[in-house]
Amino acid sequence: MNGQVNVVDHPLVQHKLSLMRMKSTSTSSFRALLAEVSLLLGYEVLRDLPVQPVTIDTPIARTTVPMLDGKKIVLVSIMRAGAGILDGMLQLVPSARVGHVGLYRDPHTLAAVEYYFKVPKQMGDRDAIVVDPMLATGNSAVAAVTRLKETAPRSIKFVCLVSCPEGLAAFHRHHPDVPVHTAAIDSHLDAHGYIVPGLGDAGDRLFGTK
Ligand code: URA
């Protein structure tokens, strides 16, 4: 497989993901778990963020300490299920900017069709983190990152909860330069484009629309 994939196999992430997979898990629990897992994924994904030296005064002395510039981070949510990942990540970096990409899956071809795109200005100074719970066919992720690259952000990472070999291969065929961070690589895709065993439709489970 081309491209970089980081499987976040921390036991807390794995346990919470297992709860999310259960079909008996309620909408409210699913939503809370997704926010918790996203925070933990974010902790891992943001580990190489650049920090700047800033001079401060402690109660004892003046010193120079490392600090993040949160405004340089743009979380780009693939609508609609990406919204579930935003909550947890924004807890970690409340000053991050947020972009949205609206794509729907054509039910016949499974191709991604764009209907909305809005990101902050001056993307060239910013590190973009694209979020979507499921990397299934890869069509949405590929289209979102292709579109985002037109704005030339300083860097791009892709974060999902569950991926599969087909989605990872498609993603890295188009974007070998974009690392993927995921909590799981599942077995395969079914004929309808669902990840097996997966967790079902992440948007429906998050918003209770089924
Ligand atoms: N989107 C989902 O929400 N779930 C899948 O299994 C595949 C795509």
What confidence score (pLDDT) does residue 171 get? Answer: 98
* Ligand 1, pocket residues at CB < 6 Å: 81, 134, 136, 193-195, 198, 201-203
Sort residue 63 into left (φ over 0), alpha (ψ -120 to 50) or beta: beta
- Give me the residue spans of the domains in the chain: 5-49+71-207
End-to-end Cα, the chain, rounded Å: 35
Q: How far is the CA of 26 from the centre of ligand 1 (A)?
A: 17
Identity at 75, one-letter amino acid code: L
pLDDT the model gives residue 50: 86
Which pLDDT score is estimated for 2? 66
In this prediction the pTM is 0.93
Atom 7 of ligand 1, residue of closest alpha carbon:
194
Is residue 76 within 8 A of residue 88, CB to CB? The reply is no
Where b means 16+ CB within 10 Å and e means fewer, 198-209 reads bbbebbebbbee
3-state secondary structure of 49: coil
Which pLDDT tens digits describe the chain residue by residue (210 residues)?
468 999 999 999 999 999 999 999 999 999 999 999 999 999 999 999 889 999 999 999 999 999 987 779 999 999 989 999 998 999 999 999 999 999 887 878 877 889 999 999 999 999 999 999 999 999 999 999 999 999 999 999 999 999 999 999 999 999 999 999 999 999 999 999 999 999 999 999 999 998
The pLDDT assigned to 72 comes to 92
Residue of 21, 194, 206 to test ligand 1 pocket, by largest number of atoms within 8 Å of CB: 194
Ligand 1 centre from 60 Cα, in Å?
53
Fold held by 5-49+71-207: Rossmann fold (3.40.50)
